Structure 1
Amino acid sequence: MTSTWTSKNIPPGGKQNVFPTTASPEHRSPTHRKAFRIGLITASAGLLVGLDTGLISEALGFIGNDFHASIRDQEWIVSVLMIGASVGSLGAGTFSARFGRRLVLMMAMVLMFIGAGLCADAFHLSQILVGRLLIGVAIGICTFTAPLYISETMSGHLRGSMVSTFSMLQSAGILAGYLLGSILSSGGHWRWMVSMPMLPAALLFTGCLFLPPSPSWLIARGQDDRVREVLRSLRDTPAEVEQEFNSLKQEAGKGHVSGLTLLRQQPNFRRSVLLGICLQVMQQLTGINVVMYYMPKILQNAQFGISGAAWATVLIGVINTVVGIAAIFLVNRWGRRPLLCTSAAIMAISLTIAAIITGLHLPGMSATLCLLCALLVFVGGFGLGAGPLVWTLCSEIQPLEGRDFGVGCSTLANWWADWGVSNTFLSLVSVIGFGQTFAGFAFMNVVFIVFTLMFVPETKDVSLETIETNLLAGKKLRDIGR
């Protein structure tokens, strides 16, 4: 799965601030530094999410050899994680509301540690599947709870940068997984690879012990004195503390209609939920996770050696991380629709080139290098727009009252679409070959462009209230940002 956002990533009534604060460390107050540390600890959960993607990509071939795993077995090793993640994301909201964000994050780290341990000590393929399932549940919890906790504890000028840090650390985690896997691949040490998440999971569990409870969670439980205590430790002035406390009390005093009730009663809300689901499905049909999970196999098929394929995969991680950083600054300059269309066009062209090279079985090192370059450009194209923007749009297009429900539906759609693609790729290749498979994904990127032009609104510099008003007034989806 790619970078994950929740409904709280965008402050009510405004646009997300994705630029880090410019205050120099020596001018930051003690409370500012403490808030930054808390945000950074929580955002580190993104590193674990990405680390697994990179590591399993490198370890999959060795696991398959040791356990004589079939193509279907290998697809399930990868895709069972998405089933776990969908379960984790579904349950995260309920459990975090009842037990608190911090405790649920700690539970996710325990599941991650146990799951990685089961995989590392596996004596049968079924044990790896169980371990991967537990890791998936942990990842589903992290991708829902960590950004939610950040948005509820950080002040406005830190919220955007810390949530963006969570997303960026996912890309960094993928790169780290590729790099560690490449180092260990020369000896075929796949058990070391799959055990790697255990250390950061233990460290993050320890870090969570120092996190304060979420003020929003405390206010819902009527612990007003504790709320003020937490806010005083995280905000610079008493005025900020009182202003935020009063805002939380006012919000807690409002009655809310459940998302499911709103879905039944409000046809315009159904439109925004459907748009969010379609965006997430289209994101997965670009083929991104096929490349991220199966890159070593793709390159080995193109006559890369095992070691060469492993190190070439590291380049994918580098491109994914660097372009992800660039996308943070481009999104508020170019706008959503132009960036999405540009992203999909780059992916369509690069996959078409990959389809020609693999479909015609072009020989020689020059063809192999061209294939690698095409896949690098493809990953760069995804990171430029389709990766971060789909999550941003899914938060922006939902009305406030049903935002949790709408984003939850689109997040679940992402996991299931991810499962569907990753669970069928190797089987599809075995039937029709790499060339036609890449051509199919290239065609889906063309469909993505058409879909964007027909239905996706431009939400750059538009307040969430304006988007909500236009949506509920019945305007066409592509016009709700005007």
Structure 2
Amino acid sequence: MHVYGSAASSGTGHLKQSVAGRAGLVAGLAAVAGLMFGLDIGVISGALGLIAQEFSTTQVQEEWIVAAMMLGAALGVPVASRLSFVWGRKRTLIIGASLFICGSMSCALAGSVGVLIVARIVLGLAVGVSTFTAPLYIAEVSDPAHRGAMISVYQLMVTIGILAAFVSNALFSYFDAWRWMLGVVAFPAVVFLIGVLFLPHSPRWLVLRGKRDAARRALLELRGPVRGVADELNEIDAQCRGGGNGFALFRADRNVRRAVFLGVMLQCIQQFSGVNVVMYYAPRIFGLAGFPEHAGLWGTASAGAVNVLATFLAIWLVDRWGRRPILICGLVVMSLSLTVLGGILGGGAQYGVRQVAAVGVLLSFVAGFAFSAGPLVWVLCSEIQPLRSRDFGIACSTVTNWIANMIVGASFLSLLDHLGRAGTFWMYAALNALFVILVILFVPETKGLTLEGIERNLMSGVRLRMIGRGAAGPAPDHRAAS
């Protein structure tokens, strides 16, 4: 764990290390919500075929078993936004953990397709609550120098959850135990529920609710006296001045609308990159490449392992290289990988070298996503929204994430029927090429700035891609162009 400053004495050094460790522990525990999210993403890929056999499902029913979770997540985000603002980030995480337990157990006990879809919607509510609240909470308790890495840990936990789900799917598949595949999420959910009870409240939320003394105590707990708590508290205080919040600010202030637009665009980039086609239907894709069922499941697990390893790369680079160059690099890799994959799969059954090549480019695509759009979209969406409208702005971007996710999950099999193997993957390749252009035009570099510094630049009318550079002017300009 990084230690801020140099230790002039061993006592001061221990104090600084314990403070840094406390902030990292708090953010890390909050990131466990990503583990449950990842498990939910991963388990359905292995369970879907077994569910189809037991209930004799149609293709449309299969698509909706997958998409039901995204529908629930899209519904859960606005609920989480309101709860997070009124009750606080910590209490909202507790609600999310409880929903994870209820939803996963209901999935495991489902006796029909209809009941399973409803249970998946409940599980989606839990995912929506956690994907909204956890990155927001982590951003608000982390220090600027390590905020990118701390939020990226959330995405790392997502990838670990996906990998764990893929491995458990492969093991349970030998026993046709799809109910255990779906019910396994309840175990980490119980651990998370207990752990989150000991988290401090977000100091920024406390200031928003007028609890300045409590915010000061929370900052002292997270930063310690060596971190200039008084200055940070004053800066947060300054950003809370003025009337209005949420939708009222969105309607009144063009700069707030610009931030919301950017967050929505980033989440569209993440989801329409096609990554969840791989996560939800990986065994099907390996089947298209000519692999038998169990080999496809273990191949899916290898994709999960690459996902985890490449996310470590993102954590290492995000506060060194910055957000923009990594995001651009990852999208280029993804576009090229899908272009090649479409060409290989479009040739029919795969054998020998072509089969190995299909696996290689699929893993390259997963790696490109995992070190770029996967973690960095959550980082940027948590950084760019002004404090007084942060709940609303992140709610808009997260709802967009789940609506786009639902569209991808509910359309892939139909796209294969209508566009064919090559056409489907080439379509996603073209979208990733378009996203490179959008990142160049609109996405800022926010490395090393405080959340308040980013907000000052945004509200002063600085162009979106420039809000991470230079000093903002003293007064906001509501007529600023995007």
- Find the partner of 1:198 among 166, 172, 186: 186
Aligned residue among 346, 361, 365 for 1:374: 361
Residue aligning to 2:131:
143
Give the alignment of 1:83-482 within 5 angstroms. 83-153=71-141, 161-218=149-206, 233-237=221-225, 254-460=241-447, 471=458, 476-481=463-468
- 1:261 Cα deviation after fit: 2.9
1:352 maps to a residue whose letter is T
Q: In structure 2, what is the Cα distance between the partners aligned to 1:454 and 1:177?
A: 37
- Which residue in the other structure is 1:76 paired with? 64
Q: Is the 8 A contact 1:31 1:233 kept in 2?
A: yes
1:45 aligned partner: 33
Secondary structure at the counterpart of residue 431 of structure 2: helix
CA deviation after TM superposition for structure 1 residue 414, in Å: 1.3
1:423–1:468: structure 2 CA closer, same or farther, 3 Å change rule? Answer: same
C-alpha contact (below 8 Å) 1:57/1:296 kept by paired residues: yes
Contact persistence 1:61–1:297 (CA under 8 A): no
Answer whether contact 1:263 1:269 (CA < 8 A) is retained.
Answer: yes
User: Which amino acid is the alignment partner of residue 298 of structure 2?
Assistant: W
Matched residues in 2 for 1:124 and 1:36: separation? 43
> Which of the numbers 40, 52, 56 marks the counterpart of 1:64?
52
After TM superposition, the structure 1 stretch with the greater mean CA deviation from structure 2, 340-349 or 135-144, is 340-349
Q: Once the 2 structures are TM-superposed, how far is the Cα of residue 368 of structure 1 from its aligned partner?
A: 1.7
Structure 1 gaps of 5+ residues are: 1-19
Instruction: Give the Cα separation in 1 of the matches to 2:458 and 2:238.
Output: 25
8 A contact 1:79–1:423 mirrored in 2:
yes
Closer/same/farther in 2, CA of residues 89 and 345 from structure 1, 3 Å limit = same
Alpha-carbon displacement from aligned partner over 1:346-379 (angstroms, at most 9, x marks no partner): 1111111111111121531322221111110011
In 2, Cα distance between the equivalents of 1:142 and 1:113? 13
Structure 1 residue 397: deviation in Å?
A: 4.3
- 1:7 — aligned with what? none
Q: 1:239 to 1:158 in 2, by over 3 A?
A: closer
* CA distance in structure 1 between the aligned counterparts of 2:200 and 2:159, rounded to whole angstroms: 27
Distance in 1 separating the partners of 2:222 and 2:457:
36
**Do the aligned partners of residues 31 and 353 (structure 1) sit closer, same or farther apart at CA in structure 2, a change above 3 Å counting?**
closer
Aligned residues: 462
Q: What TM-score comes out, normalization by structure 2 length?
A: 0.85
Give the C-alpha shift of residue 433 in structure 1: 2.0
- Distance apart, 1:476 and its partner CA: 4.8
Distance 1:96 1:391, change over 3 A: closer
Question: Alpha carbons of 1:227 and 1:402: their partners in 2 closer, same or farther (altered >3 Å)?
Answer: closer
Identity of aligned residues (%): 40
TM superposition score normalised by structure 1: 0.85
Residues 1:335 and 1:38: Cα distance change in structure 2 (over 3 Å): closer
Stretch moving more, 148-157 or 123-132: 148-157
Give how far 1:227 is off: 5.4
User: How many angstroms does 1:87 deviate by?
Assistant: 1.8
Does the C-alpha gap of structure 1 residues 396 and 197 become closer, same or farther in structure 2, counting only changes over 3 Å? closer
Change (3 A) 1:229 1:99: same
Q: 1:352–1:245: structure 2 CA closer, same or farther, 3 Å change rule? A: closer
Kindly provide the amino acid, as one letter, of the partner of residue 139 in structure 1: V
Instruction: Please say if residues 62 and 190 of structure 1, whose CA atoms lie closer than 8 Å, have aligned partners that are also in contact.
Output: yes
Matched, 1:21 2:2: yes
